[in-house]
Amino acid sequence: MAPPAAMEETAPTINLLSNINDGNNAASQISRVTIVGSGNWGSVAAKLIASNTLKLASFHDQVRMWVFEETLPTGQKLTEVINQTNENVKYLPGIKLGKNVVADPDLDNAVRDANMVVFVTPHQFMEGICKRLVGKLKEDVVAISLIKGMEVKMDGPHMISTLISEQLRVNCCVLMGANIANEIAVEKFSEATVGYRENREVAEKWVRLFSTPYFVVTPVQDVEGVELCGTLKNVVALAAGFVDGLEMGNNTKAAIMRIGLREMRAFSKLLFSSVKDSTFFESCGVADLITTCLGGRNRRVAEAFAKNGGKRSFDELEAEMLQGQKLQGVSTAREVYEVLRHRGWLELFPLFATVHEISAGRLPPSAIVEYSEHKPNCSLVEGSAPYF
């Protein structure tokens, strides 16, 4: 708005035109949101976001959600049922997403008008999704990843946010936290952390989009730290599940969680010297580790794996127990192991290494406590730069 002196000198007709232009500018700044992914957590994210786009003038009401099309036992298409019932009957039954959520099986169409894109799919699918989206996004788009995991390539590990940023040439933040999706779906209080690199304004916009009275989001300038916390805690959750399946007790489980947190911090700082210690005290850090080791799907399936003496594969248990949802811990443990082996770090991270060996069937579940005789030399973390 012009200063008072200028307003006095301007004719009323100019003021009217100015107001019209201001309205047009405001309209052009309204953000359209698309969610890429529609599983359990993706559907909860849609519910959170849809409740806010209806209230906040800076966001367009409609939220598009890309759905990998599936045919339900009834013969109906999943997208049709979501749009008819306002409910993801397969991955989040009994929860209304919001009437402004539109399910779309066409990825290109779902993102066409979006300038804020939320990625929330199993991490093993992201490279293919990014390849499909190259050249399909608007120039002003920003992204956020809710994905736990990493890609390991010949030149080393790549975080999913980096994959998105580099392949799609967009600013990509991350959101991680102590977030059991089904609890957030019924509006039980929870916290989360948005990790960003430089643009605090973009981070604050994501905070506004996700925040509700029962879902409190805090921005932290540490993308890699936030993302690695969300990724690595699933490996520790497998260890906690092995302990539960073998009925080793709470003391053992607490020890595994503490050692796991130590290895999470050490691994993160060896990979990225910019990672902040304070990040591990945010929701994405110790809080997410605790909740995942107590109630997450990785812990639950690992418990079943240990109870069966490792004789039933994780693939078999996943198909039986998760109704189409994907485990992240097993694939992440394998990827972490590849990094450790390639860089000669296996002896520094006995818990991470042992979790993979158990998951791959090379060690029995009881081996989860046998590694403890070999303490990692975490002092190396203080000089992490030479180990890149």
**Residue tagged 């079943």 (tokens):** 304
Q: Answer yes or no: are the C-beta atoms of 346 and 371 closer than 8 Å.
A: no
233 is catalytic: yes
Residue 158 backbone dihedrals phi, psi, to 5 degrees: -125, 125
Q: What one-character DSSP code corresponds to residue 212?
A: B
Q: Answer yes or no: are the C-beta atoms of 204 and 210 closer than 8 Å.
A: no
Q: What one-character DSSP code corresponds to residue 119?
A: E
Q: Answer yes or no: are the C-beta atoms of 63 and 49 closer than 8 Å.
A: yes
Q: Answer yes or no: are the C-beta atoms of 280 and 286 closer than 8 Å.
A: yes
Interior angle at CA 133, CA 130 and CA 138, nearest 5: 125
Spell out the alpha helix ranges (H) of the chain.
4-9, 12-28, 40-53, 78-85, 107-111, 126-133, 160-168, 181-185, 200-210, 223-245, 250-271, 288-295, 297-307, 314-321, 329-343, 350-359
Q: Answer yes or no: are the C-beta atoms of 19 and 27 closer than 8 Å.
A: no
Choose, from 233, 253, 307, 311, the residue flagged as catalytic. Answer: 233
Region of 63 (left: φ > 0; alpha: ψ -120 to 50; beta: rest) is beta
SS3 for 102?
Answer: strand
CA distance 42 to 44: 5
For 129-133, the CB contacts below 8 A with 24+ separation are 129/36, 130/163, 130/164, 130/167, 130/168, 131/167, 132/107, 132/108, 133/107, 133/108, 133/167, 133/168
Dihedral (CA of 242, 315, 130, 121) sign: negative
Residue 108, C-beta contacts closer than 8 angstroms, at least 6 positions apart: 132, 133, 136
* Residues annotated catalytic, as ranges: 233
